[in-house]
Amino acid sequence: MIFLDYKDRRPIYEQVMERLQELMLMGVLGQDEKLPSVRGLATELSINPNTIQRAYMELERQGYIYSVKGKGSFVADVSRMKDAKWQELKTGMAELAEKAVRLGTGAEEFARLAEEAYGKAGETDD
């Protein structure tokens, strides 16, 4: 479910947050689904529970999850976040297309490059 890269310069809690966000945005963790307990996930990942608590607190602050006292943490409705990420992607693609045009790259070449990059991203997404 979550893999940590100890060579990554980012703090562990940020890695945990990012992976949980990805799982939520991809629909692997659905709306209102209960997340693992802080202690359970910390044990599974062999890290300090305070690290998981910090990740959960930040995810809640950002609106990805919500807590129910005595019950745990649950996945919130992430459709707005997904829409925002989609818009960010579209903006980034538009910027890349503008650069390609300025370099004299044809639409077919640009599409081929995008398809190639997408394929590579899919290969390393495990």
Look at residue 92 in the predicted model and tell me its pLDDT. Answer: 95
Question: Given this model, what pLDDT does residue 17 score?
Answer: 97
Q: pLDDT digits over 57-87, tens only?
A: 999 999 999 999 999 999 999 999 999 999 9
For residue 122, the model assigns a pLDDT of 77
3 state DSSP class of 75: strand
Q: CA 88, 26, 47: angle at the middle one, nearest 5?
A: 105
How large is the average pLDDT for residues 24-41? 95
What does DSSP assign to residue 6?
Answer: T
For residue 124, what pLDDT is reported?
61
3-state secondary structure of 61: helix
The torsion angles phi and psi of 125, rounded to 5 degrees, stand at: -85, 25
What are the pLDDT digits (tens) for 111-120?
999 999 998 8
Tokens matching residue 85: 């990420």
